[in-house]
Amino acid sequence: MSRRISVVENILEANERIAAQNQLVLDDAGVLAVNLMASPGAGKTSLIERTLDELRHQLSIAVIDGDIATNIDADRAAAAGAQAVQINTGGECHLDAVMLQQALEQLELGSINLLIVENVGNLICPANFQLGTHLNILIASTPEGDDKPYKYPGMYRGVDALVINKVDLLPYIDFDMSYFQRGVEALNPGLTAFPMSCKTGEGVDGWLEWLRVQLAGVSGPH
């Protein structure tokens, strides 16, 4: 006979369970993990290079790079002085908790303070897949346009901080900062934002200072 069974289960539950396990593993090792998300070309790898340049003498930093293909980003992170693991997603548009779990196994977590995860360049999907990282950071870049919060609201809603990169280009492009910020405010009230240029170094200090404060809040075996 035929029967209807009530389920009411979140379809992403399996991913979220593994994300929670990842966070436990990171917490046990005393590692702060940040997930960098942005559209392709916004400056994820450039921000990582800047961050490594400034912090690698004080901290042990690892980078996990997610891309559809190639090791270009992990090579850049390794050249800048990090333990680096590349994940090639083979077409998947975002990293998920299982991919991070596998990448974590390749790192010596006990010797790391800060883990930077570079998500696949995409302004839609990564927002829906928790990884287990402690902080989600979105990098917007000014040449993408000031309408991005309005067009990709999901991405702006879930993040803990916003980097506004390539502000050195503002004199050359039509980017209305107040229109942009108004959209951000509607999606994520009071969101901490860091206008900067990874190229000139302008504004990078504010980001580093914030990161240091977040790191100071981590308790662990270190």
Partner 1 sequence: MHELMITESLLEIALRYAEKEEATKITDLFLVVGELSSVVDDSVGFYWDFICNGSIAEGASLHFKRIPAELACLDCGYRFSPQENITCDLCDSTRIKIMAGKEFYLESIEITQDESKPDDAFNNASHSKIEQGSLGD
Q: Which residues contact partner 1 by CB under 8 A?
A: 1-15, 91-94, 96, 124-125, 127-129, 149-150, 153-154, 157, 182-183, 185-187, 189
CA distances from 94 to 10, 53, 116, 130, 196 (A): 19, 27, 15, 10, 25
Measured from the CB of residue 99, what is the shortest distance to partner 1 in angstroms? 10
Measured from the CB of residue 111, what is the shortest distance to partner 1 in angstroms? 32
For residue 122, which amino acid is it? N
Considering the complex, state which of residue 24 and residue 186 has its C-beta at the smaller distance from partner 1.
Answer: 186
For residue 192, which amino acid is it? T
Start-to-end C-alpha separation, the chain: 60
Measured from the CB of residue 168, what is the shortest distance to partner 1 in angstroms? 28
8 Å CB contact between 156 and 138: yes
* DSSP code for 42: S
Considering the complex, state which of residue 52 and residue 162 has its C-beta at the smaller distance from partner 1.
Answer: 162
Cα 81 to Cα 202: distance, rounded to the nearest angstrom: 22
Considering the complex, state which of residue 41 and residue 153 has its C-beta at the smaller distance from partner 1.
Answer: 153
Considering the complex, state which of residue 13 and residue 174 has its C-beta at the smaller distance from partner 1.
Answer: 13
Measured from the CB of residue 86, what is the shortest distance to partner 1 in angstroms? 20
